[in-house]
Structure 1
Amino acid sequence: MENKVLAVAAGNEITEKDLSAIISRYPQEQRATLQNEVQKKQLIEQLISFELMSKFGKEIGLNETQEYKEAMENISKEVITSMAINKVLADVTVTDEEVKNYYDNNKEAFSSPATVSARHILVETEEEAKNAKEEISNGSISFGDAAMKYSTCPSNQQGGNLGEFSKGMMVPEFEEAAFNAEIGKITEPVKTQFGYHLIVVDAKNEASVKSFEEVKSNVLNELLKQNQHTKYDQMLKELEGKYGVERK
């Protein structure tokens, strides 16, 4: 593929390869926005300014200063360190068998608990709860309106809606009643430390476990990171023994 020259600044060519290189330094999510002509022209101007300032810096001898030499030494160290790390980690792999074994031994990590979606009305006394239930049952008022009218829970402004919850998120008495309730049927008053509740369950979701295929790529990436971390630590210990380290 032809490496088209886009500009010449201070005698140096600026090519499409140079433009692609600068675009690649941006985060992945920003790169698409840099592909239109307006953005490309701005980047080319940026590259031109780099060339001009670089030329000026050399002209006034900045590349001969001690500050420049120290900066280049630091940059060189960073580059060779990065290359060395990449070389050490290049041969780290994870087998399909390792991924499957991890999944089989840690299925609880990929499970979703049973949940219910429910609404409730909270009042102080059992009598109040029974009266509210009777009003709802005979059609005098909807459950949501009754919640707004009678409930002392802040959820009253949402018609008593508590959203979706799993076991362990509510007090035991409330939780037991909600998970045992029939969908769409108002429970009898349920006593808790907060008062008396009327509960209606709108939906139930059974506990589930994600399939191996659903999580395979995530597990592979996680195991690869773990193996790379282990290999890196091992290599550092070997190098410390080889080259020596004195911590003060």
Structure 2
Amino acid sequence: MNIKFLGTVALVGAVVAGCNKETQEDESAEKAPVPDAVVLKVNGVELKRSAIENDVEAVIKVHGDKIPAEQLGNIRKQIRSQVVQGYISRIVLSAKAKEGGFVVTDAERKAREEEIVKSLSNQPGGPKSLDEFFKKVYPFGEKRGREEFEQGMLIDKMIKDAQAKAPAVDYKAKAEEIIATIVSNNMKVVSDADALKKIKEIKARLDKVDAKGLAAAFAEEAKNNSACPSSANGGDLGDFGRGAMVPEFDKVAFELPVGKVSEPVKTQFGYHLVFVTSKTPAVEAKGDTPASPEKVRASHVLIKVETPRPVPKVDVIVESLKRQAEGEFSRKFVMAEIEKAKIEAFDDEFKAFAPKSAAKDACKDKDCGECPVEKTEGK
């Protein structure tokens, strides 16, 4: 797991892409805040509005050409939220890492730098070194970039150490279970030849049924054998006009006489038998009555043609499982540490970041001695 110190920089792309124009708000209508007011305290560390706003403006300055003017107000709020979350995480986790005595070696630092530069090299005009990135791209400057890089390294090391002490997981056994499931499912896959054979067998059974009982027999075959959700209704697809179905199916449905079962029809979904139950001719517009296109009502039986799923190698699955586990462990670790932190809000706009403080403010009797918030803070 890597605590990405580049997270705020990457934020704007996601925010801009996901912004909903219908929810824009004009930030100019907000009450002007006091720039240097302390808005949050995180374990006693003061966080001023000016620091937050400077970061927001720095990010917007770097990515401003990608932000539509009409969406700037809403995007600014989303960036502000991410900036605050970043501050809280760094304050809480870096302090814990220092208390734990974690130290980053030169070899670890070099390896991480190379990893970051490699990931950035895929971008057009990507920096060739971390220093170049800090100077030309990073919105908060080289000095802070280095500080956050070091913090991220310490935090990563702390989390990896915690995960190493957690109960061991046999990823190889899990991978083998996954492979066994894939192999088992592949054995149930219906090949093209098998699907054609099965649809022909159904057709042969239906050919033996007289006209009077054909509709009921077809519905029964659909219920028992069709891979389409319409099987619950005996394969009935309802009325549809030309072009509503894939071309191969459409052609047969409109050419087939009512009450007849088609020969097997191959489409992208597999093999079908089509049974037309009624046809409605086209009607020209007359007076206030609009024109009505030709329609048919048909049922079908579908036998899907399936492709076996590739069976991955054990080590590939093991690595994937490890990455997933590392990400989940890191997420829970960070959330747990932030939950334990003492976060105080001094501005209504930031109370969402200090849920304990907000709950305490909402309490009707702050001196009752039974406040659950007080208890969770160890008082």
Measured against the shorter chain, the TM-score band is 0.3 to 0.5
Q: Which gives a bigger RCO, structure 1 or 2 (Cα 8 Å, sep 6+)? A: 1
Higher normalized strand content (fraction of residues)? 1
TM-score of the pair, normalised by structure 1: 0.34
